Amino acid sequence: MGLVIEPNAPSERGTARFTASWGPTGRRSRSLVLVSHAARHMRIPPARKSRAWWENAVFRVWFMPGRIREAARSALVRPKHHKGRGRGLTLRVGPFRPSTRIASGMHRFPRILVPTLGLLIAASSAAPPTADPPDRPGGLGGFGLVPTTTAPSDGAKLARMDLLTRHRTVAPGSELLLGIRWQIAPKWHMYWRNPGDSGTAPRITVTGVEGMKVGDIRWPRPVVFNDEWGDTTYGYEREVILVIPVRIPAGTPEGPLRLDVQAEWLVCKGACLLGDGQSSIEIQVKNAAPGKDTPDPAIERSLALVPSPLKGLKGSTVRLEPASNPSRLVIEGPAGEAPSIAFIPDLTPGVVAGEGHPVKAVISENGISEKKFRIEVPLVIEPDNSEGRPLEVAGLVIFGPGSTDPARSVRLPIDP
């Protein structure tokens, strides 16, 4: 018997109570109270489906092996008849009444089907404990999960991963730029390091020679996606290359060196599917100065899209107002010929900028001097939610909506 969740009577304000049973005979059970907030993010609004549809709907939820404790990150909703890898659990969905009331401060809650959320909670409690990975700033991103028979079954087919390096040779003790490239199917997208209202950023692990140091990802500027449910997310279409600096230990002997990459990612188009993959690339370690081979043009294009600091833009200013207990971030500078300018927030625990959404600039032109822009970003500062990190506000100023339009980064500390 799989894990089965069956509804009891829904209560007021859209909160639904479910009973979950699991085990060989279904003897183990517990009651789950599911708050209605998650219903806000259902990819098929309840009004479009009848009560009978929900009562009779049967899904199978698949977990990637060994990831039960991370179920909210890796669950895929598939039709019951689907035959795929992973662990199958049957979910029966009953009637409920989602509420339009959204609790304040809950906008980062995962986008996930309400009964599926209950299944994930129950599965986590029933599974043997495993090591929990460190959480990313800003909490767990969500998935737009829907029952569907037409969505492809494997996110790895929709976003195909391969590896590149800027150069194919490297000297011991020097840095190599490794690129992880995804070629994304038309109309599907992946996510930036701050995914926005839903989604999750790619998770990448690089391994190689002992003592190798792996640096931070160099993220290209994202584009802004707005869906019909009013959610705003940030990410990439068609192709994205995430460049990671890798420092080779000084004592590495000459010869071939293999780098291995393991990654997990989410690819979405209404529904979301998890992709995962492993890939390897071989480079040559040589004592002679590297870099005489021609740099990979794809890596060069990606590096050109990584935003540089706004302070390098002549005539620009960034400040907090008021200076103590600030309530807004003010950014000013030359507008140039950009058709539109906006600020998009980064992940900053303890500081919410612009309610997590883009803030458009006001562009002024007096007919004599160059055009100027001004952006006022409202701030909500919550030191208790800083996760022990210094408070700061960060984000990007994007000069146009396109993926190749310029962008500049902003990062400013905030005194508690």
Kindly report the average pLDDT of the chain as a whole number. Answer: 70
Q: What is the pLDDT of residues 269-305, one digit of tens each?
A: 877 788 889 999 999 999 875 556 788 999 999 999 9
Q: Which of the residue ranges 72-76, 196-200, 216-220 has the most confident prediction, judged by mean pLDDT?
A: 216-220
Q: Does the predicted model carry a pTM greater than 0.75?
A: no
The per-residue pLDDT for range 4-18, each reduced to its tens digit, is: 444 444 433 333 333
pLDDT tens-place string over residues 112-128: 333 333 333 333 333 33
Taking the C-alpha atoms of residue 289 and residue 363, their distance in angstroms, rounded to an integer, is: 48
User: Residue 147: its pLDDT value, please?
Assistant: 30
Q: Given pLDDT bands bounded at 50, 70 and 90, which one contains residue 367?
A: low
Q: How confident is the model at residue 1 (pLDDT cuts 50, 70, 90)?
A: very low
Choose the weakest-confidence range: 20-34, 134-148, 357-371. 134-148
Q: What is the pLDDT of residues 70-112, one digit of tens each?
A: 333 223 333 333 333 333 333 333 333 332 222 222 233 333 3
Q: Where residue 319 falls among pLDDT bands split at 50, 70, 90?
A: very high
Question: Does the pLDDT value for residue 231 go beyond 90?
Answer: no
- For 373, the token pair is 């822009």
State the pLDDT at residue 366.
64
Q: Which residue has the higher pLDDT, 368 or 272?
A: 272
Q: What is the rounded average pLDDT of the residues 41-46?
A: 32
Position 44 scores a pLDDT of 32
How distant, in Å, are the alpha carbons of 48, 221, 243, 311, 402 from that of 305?
41, 6, 11, 17, 11
Check residue 274 and give its pLDDT.
Answer: 84
Residue 409 has pLDDT above 50, yes or no: yes
Q: Is a pLDDT exceeding 70 seen at residue 53?
A: no
Mind listing the domains of the chain with CATH numbers? Answer: 4-126 (no CATH), 155-304 (2.60.40.10), 308-413 (2.60.40)
